[in-house]
A and B are shown apart, each in its own frame.
Chain A
Amino acid sequence: MRRLLGFNLLTGIVLGVAGWYAGWYAAHAIVGPSIDYFADVDYNELSVVLAYLGGVLGFLIGLGFLNYPILRLRGYPPSLREKETAGTGRYFGLCTDHKVVGIQYLVGIGVFFFIGGLNAMLIRIELLSPSRQVFPAGTYLTIVGIHGTMMMGMMSSAILGPFGNYLIPILIGARRMAFPRIEALTFWLLMAGGVILETTVFFGGFPTGWTGYEPLNTQGNPGMDCYLIFFALVGISMTLLGLNMIATIVTMRAPGLTWTRLPIFVWGILSTSVLMVLAAPVLIATLGMALLDRTAQTSFFIPSAGGSNYLYENLFWVFGHPEVYILALPGFAIVLELLPVFARKPLWGYRLAISGLLGVSLLSWFVWQHHLFVSGINGDLRPFYMLSTELISIPTGFTFLCGMMTLWRGKIRYTVPMLFCLAWFFNFLIGGLSGVFLSDVPSDVTTHGSFFSMAHFHYTIMGGLIFTFFAGIYYWVPKMTGFQLNETMGKIHFWWMFIAFNATFAPLFAAGFLGQPRRVVTYPADLTFINQWVSVSAFILGAAQLFFVFNLVYSLVFKRIPAEANPWESKSIEWQLPSPVPVYNFSKIPVFSSDPYGYGEPARPVAVPASSPAGRD
């Protein structure tokens, strides 16, 4: 009872609602409903925006994020531990234990992944027939928008959030992240954002899809503000998440952990974090400008009032392209990290793999205009962006080479995480090669804005990231929870998902080439069979994820078979600790002497506890 009186999710929600009303009425006080030009006489546009911002502020204050800054301002000394040893209540509030934040992320992102997936199922229900309208046409666009936006916003942190937060301190021999409260903040910002995005249905939805193109953006109902605020919160969350990762990896590595002994997973997180820190602020600024266009009558993006829709498109894609590598790189990192364990060989070409990751990271800044090939950009730019986009396949290829050569002459075990990693090669190959077609301007003339483009990014993002997300879950959940996941069910889930995934998205390449544009509620009658096939396959794919949830509940709630400390016989340091990992991670800070890939080499430990008593705090 006393614990309930502290700052937690409940107080967060209460203060969030209070903040909502505060913002709403503040806006009404500033401008009455007489603001013309952009105001809908039913609601005042500014009210919606200030209400949501007030709500988020109230929510964060209610969770207790202001407590520590206020304490420090009042002169209290720096302190760290907050609620780290309490029970399940830790998971429902601000907790500075990075492992708790990791699990919060896993569950939180999981829930929104399912909401995004539900919207995908609704899209495919609509597309079962070209003539029957299941959803009104405008609402259909909102469903399409929610699906895309929810997935892109949430899944950007799909690996860094759960697995980055949980594992990075352990992998580098530390007890915490550099900024634990910011770490918790990134999670709650994302959760607040997700709820805000779903409430768009109460404000008329939004018509632009996840890219939010202007000027259609400014023309949208107040539900558009939900999209803008959600994505801005995601941007802030991503920036802080990346910042935290970089600071931790650069400054808090244990003794002996030189850059060349770092697990490749950490390198992957690092290269992704650099992209997050640099790209997300561009998004926040762009969405801020769009919000101003909608509320304060500015005209950044309204052409006939002096602005330019190209400005929006370019700013968005300067973020948008690194964003897709933020989605893809963690997938590379997981595959390269898991393959040595299940092939029982060292990671082949460690330095080449790192240059691949960093190369992709660097080149991703120079390709964004390939989203704008036919938009009317200056013709001189197109050959350059065609070249830069083609070039990015070279460092991507390094990941393939290193993975393939790790398998070469190995002793491969087909465990569930391994199956998902192997599927990555198949899916990302198709995704990547279709990207080669899209990067070629003549070919792009037909495929841009069509279902071919859709199939491409679903193969790279879902086939790449989501498959490795599941690989990570099956691999690390025994460590995180201390309980096994049922292996047979895992294998059923894998094959069910792999087959249904390919059945769903492969025909979409054809649909695009046959002339079906994206985000359409109807299509030519001769494409009916393809669309029906895809819809049915999509329902089967959705069912696969429900089966996965069944496995989770069955294994973690009912069966609860304890997992060994090292079920995969991995040499990596997290597997030398008990499952679940104890609160302080290490009783003594370890000293590292090699990378974790010493398979087939004379046995030596990756790290030993430092001989001096408990290292850093």
Chain B
Amino acid sequence: MRARTWKLVGTVVVVAAVGVLIGLYVSKLTTEAGSPSYTVPVKTVNGKPVVDLTIETVAAVGPELSPSHPDFVSYLIRNAQGKWERDTVWHLPAHATVHVTIYNFDGASGLRNSYLARPQGTDGNTYTVDGKTLDVINPDDASHTFAVPAYGLIVALPGVADDAKNQCGYAPCALSMAHRTIQFTFHTGSAGHFRWQCFVPCAAGWLYGFGGPMQTIGYMDGFLNVA
């Protein structure tokens, strides 16, 4: 009888330990290399939803925003309080007009496929760079891309000149530092789950520049959750 009780206790302990280990494993997996989501505030203009998206791209995201990967390049989004967050999963309303402003603080790496140097999927298939309306940039000047392939949206972000003064090191970057301002407008359709990514090989040190931050959600990749 005593032996049986010990066996029961032992079995329960082992099962509990296994359960805890599985729980830890699964929770590690659900949170690893992901991103919390951010709901972009919606305005209504003439009865239609309009959204202002302000994002920036930085050369090194810094230990504050990413303790495990301070040297990763990253996208950041400005929240309603004006603080920059590292979220790449954004909730947008369906059938909305989205005005995007991107501040790029990073230098150029160059596009692998020059075709992507031409903006597409935006209003008029053009965009504004530092106030000038352009329909193409030199692919070698591209620093990052904001692209939502399901929408046919591709926008190449020209980089800060190599010899520019006051370049940003670690994020967060102040607007007084060297940067380019890119603005464009696109439209969301019906509800869905759409990935977005950068197309410039900007992950320093990885083969073809497409490893590390370029393959991790929360840095250079994310989702548009349109609802």
Query: Which A residues fall within an 8 A CB radius of B?
Result: 36-42, 118, 122, 131-139, 142-143, 201, 204-205, 207, 215, 218-221, 302, 522, 553, 557-558
Decide if B29 touches A201 in the complex (CB within 8 Å): yes
Determine whether B54 belongs to the interface, using a CB cutoff of 8 Å to chain A: no
Contact A42 B22 (CB under 8 A): no
Chain A residues within 8 Å of B7, by CB: 557-558
In the complex, residue of chain A having the shortest beta-carbon distance to the beta carbon of B195: A137
Nearest residue, chain A, Cβ from B206: A219
Using Cβ atoms and an 8 Å threshold, which residues of chain A touch B208?
A: 215, 219
Name the segment of B91-99, B123-131, B211-219 touching the other chain: B211-219
**What A residues does B195 contact at CB under 8 A?**
137
Q: Which residue of B lies closest to A557 (CB)?
A: B7
Is the pair A42, B217 in contact by a Cβ cutoff of 8 Å? no
Chain B residue nearest to A525 in the complex (CB):
B192
Residues of B within 8 Å of A36, CB to CB, are 205
- CA distance in complex: A221, B207 (Å): 10
| Residues from 181 to 197 in B contacting A, C-beta threshold 8 Å | 192-193, 195
Q: How far is the CA of A134 from the CA of B31 in the complex (A)?
A: 10
B residues less than 8 Å from A118 (CB atoms): 22, 25
Check A139–B205 contact: CB distance below 8 A. Answer: no
- Tell yes or no: B44 within 8 A of A by CB: no
Closest to A220 in B: B211
Of A201, A218, A302, the residue contacting B32 (CB under 8 A) is A201
Q: Is B30 touching A557 in the complex (CB atoms < 8 A)?
A: no
Docked Cα-Cα span, A132 to B69, in Å, equals 26
B35 at interface by CB-CB < 8 Å: yes
- Check if A138 sits within 8 Å of B216, measured CB to CB: yes
**Chain A residues, CB < 8 A from B192:** 131
How many A-B pairs have beta carbons closer than 8 Å: the answer is 79
Q: Is B205 in contact with A37, judged by CB distance below 8 angstroms?
A: yes
Q: Cβ of A133 and Cβ of B71 under 8 Å apart?
A: no
Answer yes or no: B38 CB below 8 A from chain A CBs. no
Q: A118-B22, A137-B217 are in contact. Are A42 and B206 (CB under 8 A)?
A: no
Q: Check if A131 sits within 8 Å of B210, measured CB to CB.
A: no
B132 CB–A CB distance under 8 Å: no
How far is it, in angstroms, between the C-alpha of A201 and the C-alpha of B35 when the chains are bound? 17
Contacts of B206 in A (CB 8 A): 38, 40, 219
Q: Tell me, rounded to whole Å, the shortest Cβ–Cβ distance linking A404 to chain B.
A: 42
Bound together, the chains give a CA A37 to CA B203 distance in angstroms of 11
Mark contacts of B13-57 with chain A using CB atoms, 8 A cut-off: 1 yes-contact digit, 0 otherwise.
Answer: 000000000100110111011110000000000000000000000
Instruction: Name which of B26, B33, B216 has the most chain A CB atoms within 10 A of its CB.
Output: B33
A136 contacts B11, C-beta separation under 8 Å:
no
User: Across the interface, which residues of A come within 8 angstroms of B83, CB to CB?
Assistant: none
Please indicate the chain B residues that have their CB under 8 angstroms from the CB of A558 in the complex. Answer: 4, 7
B71 touches A41 (CB 8 A): yes
A-B contact pairs, 23 of them (CB 8 A): A38-B207, A42-B69, A118-B22, A133-B34, A133-B193, A136-B30, A138-B33, A138-B215, A139-B29, A143-B29, A201-B25, A201-B29, A204-B33, A204-B216, A205-B32, A207-B215, A215-B208, A218-B207, A219-B208, A219-B210, A221-B212, A302-B207, A557-B11
Q: How far is the CA of A36 from the CA of B30 in the complex (A)?
A: 31
B71 contacts across to A, CB distance below 8 A: 41-42
Q: Which 5 A-B pairs have the closest CB atoms?
A: A136-B34, A219-B207, A219-B211, A131-B193, A41-B71
The answer on a CB contact under 8 Å between A138 and B217 is yes
In the complex, chain B residues whose CB is within 8 Å of the CB of A204: 33, 216
Q: Does B75 contact A (CB under 8 A)?
A: no
Which residues on the A side are within 8 Å of B166 (C-beta)?
none
Closest partner residue, chain B, to A129 (CB atom): B193
Out of B4, B29, B69, B212, name the residue touching A135 (CB < 8 Å): B29
Within 8 Å CB of A137, what residues of B? 195, 217, 221
Contacts of B26 in A (CB 8 A): 122
- Chain B interface bracket (under 10, 10 to 19, 20 to 34, 35 or more): 20 to 34
Q: Which residue of A lies closest to B215 (CB)?
A: A138
* A-facing residues in B98-143 (Cβ within 8 Å): none
B223 CB-CB contact with A under 8 Å:
yes
Q: Is the CB of A40 within 8 A of B32?
A: no
Measured between beta carbons, the chain A residues less than 8 angstroms from B221 are: 137
Which chain B residue has the least Cβ–Cβ distance from A304? B208
With beta carbons under 8 angstroms apart, the residue of A133, A142, A205, A207 that contacts B223 is A133
CB distance from B136 to the nearest CB of A (A): 26
Using CB atoms, name the residue of chain B closest to A111: B18
The minimal Cβ–Cβ distance linking B188 to chain A, given in whole angstroms, is 15
User: What would 7 more interface pairs be, CB under 8 Å, given A139-B32, A205-B33?
Assistant: A36-B205, A38-B206, A136-B34, A138-B215, A139-B34, A204-B216, A215-B207
Task: Report the separation of the CA atoms of residues A136 and B29 in the bound assembly, to the nearest whole angstrom.
Answer: 8
In the bound complex, how far is the Cα of B208 from the Cα of A118, in angstroms? 33
B 155-170 contacts with A by CB, 8 A? none
Shortest distance from the beta carbon of A294 to any chain B beta carbon, whole Å: 9
A135 touches B215 (CB 8 A): no
* Chain A hits for B25, CB < 8 A: 118, 201
**Min CB gap B199→A, angstroms:** 15
Chain A, Cβ-Cβ closest to B89? A133
Q: Is the CB of A221 within 8 A of B193?
A: no
With the chains together, A553 CA to B221 CA distance in Å?
Answer: 47
Residue B68, interface by CB 8 Å = yes
Instruction: Determine the distance from Cα of A450 to Cα of B25 in the docked complex, in whole angstroms.
Output: 29
Q: Which residues from B are CB-within-8-Å of A40? A: 205-206, 212
CB contact between A122 and one of B29, B34, B68 (< 8 Å): that residue: B29
Q: How far is the CA of A219 from the CA of B208 in the complex (A)?
A: 7
Which B residues lie within 8 Å of A207 (CB)?
215
State A136–B32 Cα separation when bound (angstroms).
Answer: 7
Give bound CA distance, A515 to B100, whole Å.
36
B-side contacts of A139, CB under 8 Å? 29-30, 32-34
* Bound CA span A102–B172, Å: 58
How many angstroms from the CA of A215 to the CA of B217 in the assembled complex?
21
**Chain B residues within an 8 Å CB radius of A38:** 205-207
Q: How far is the CA of A164 from the CA of B28 in the complex (A)?
A: 37
Query: What residues of B have a CB within 8 angstroms of the CB of A132 in the complex?
Result: 193
Contacts of A557 in B (CB 8 A): 7, 11
B16 to A: closest C-beta gap in Å: 14
Residue of A nearest to B10 (CB): A557
How far, in angstroms, from A221 to B206 measured CA to CA in the complex?
Answer: 9
Measured between alpha carbons, how far is A67 from B8 in the docked complex, in Å?
39
B29 engages A39 (CB within 8 Å): no
Contact with A along B54-84 (1 / 0, CB 8 A): 0000000000000011110000000000000
Shortest distance in angstroms between B24's beta carbon and chain A's nearest beta carbon? 11
B147 to chain A, nearest CB (A): 16
Are A136 and B33 interface neighbours, CB within 8 A?
Answer: yes
With both chains docked as a complex, state the minimum distance between the C-beta of B181 and any C-beta of chain A, in angstroms. Answer: 29
With contacts A219-B210, A553-B11 taken as known, whether A39 is within 8 angstroms of B33 at the C-beta atoms is no
- B212's closest neighbor in chain A, by CB? A40
Q: Name B69's closest neighbour in chain A (CB-CB).
A: A42
Nearest A residue (CB) for B32: A139
